[in-house]
Chains A and B, each alone.
Chain A
Amino acid sequence: MIDILQIFLSESFWAASLRIASPLIFGVLGTLLCERAGVLNLGIEGIFVVGAMTGWMAVWLGAPLPVGVLAAALAGALFGLFHSVLTVPLGLSQHVSGLGITLFASSLASFAYRTALPQVSSPPRIEPFRSLDVPILSDLPFFGTVLFQQTALTWLALIMVGVVWWIMDRTPLGVALKAVGDNPEAVNAQGLSVIRLRMGAVVAGSSLMALGGAFLTMSAFDAFFFGMVNGRGWICIALVIFASWQPGKALVGALLFGMFDALQVRLQTEAGALVPHQVFLMMPFILSIIALVIVARRADYPRALLTPWFRGQR
């Protein structure tokens, strides 16, 4: 018990929690945008891979880090555009299209990586984002370490929470986006384009997802590995339900998840001799399922989620 208390009191634990949460914040926000507009995006897992690969590759080819981030977001937007064309104007199965995008995006990214680097035994490294050293603030006790020694990408994730919240809750665009996921016919009656709103949300959401992937290769690590996304995208699909499709709760959900994952890693070193380490590796996935089951009954899904909309048809 004392050990666990010590973990919770340590600065490095909270810093790690926020670091682990960062890609999930991007991913949950992206999922939130898509689903609020009425489109399930199971392409997320593949879009994470594409974002991770593209961002890393751009920097490896000599681009500055921010350009790498933009490249990742652009690649994510392209796959989002693909998914949105299939599911919005064509109204095809969102499940199947999303899984298709995941398979296509991850195999394309892996193929591109292998084709560009046919014979490397160890993955080449880039110089990743460094932690921001803000004068004075970084030297604060506790908060200095937890908040002000994170990388720019973690800060971007936190800022995006505010941006998405502001758009959803404070702008006419947000009102339209939420309406298009609940009652597209009403939006159409207002003279707004259901198709454009939904496609825009999926494209924007997918580029956020790709940033989640880019965080992995450009901030958390400094290289691209096959299988490095390892289900993080799927976890975001669970987290957004847990977060009731609200940006603030999405942040809380991602942070809670980051805490459990950071705790799991620390317990592994503490209790590694008693319990196989795989038990700890399973924990994040098991917790995601438990969280999903707890909230499932009262989950307030966007009412038109999964329902395609065609002009002149009710």
Chain B
Amino acid sequence: MTARAFFCASLLISLCAPPIAHAGNLVRQESSAQESGKQEAWQQEFDAVCSKTTDAMSLSIDELKSLIQRCDTLEPKIEKLDDTRRKVYLRRLKQCRGLYAYVLESKNNDKK
């Protein structure tokens, strides 16, 4: 019984503890940059599109073209944001679009 209670308490503590960042020792107290809580639609799309940079090399030509297209659709939406978010996210979008275009060009060269 005591062991069971101990197990339950440990489980509760681990579930309630603040999430720890991946590799380092940063602990999230509360979301800093996105204090509004719920993610806006453009942000969801941004995260979805730019989360594939780590496996860009394994994406097909069609997948890369589609991601570039989605980046281009996203750009005018980010242009309309306030000055701060525009600065941060336009740079980030440029970097992830640039990488997809770079890999696409590389794959097209390999085909020739």
Does chain A bind chain B?
A: no
B residues within 8 Å of A by Cβ? none
A residues within 8 Å of B by Cβ? none
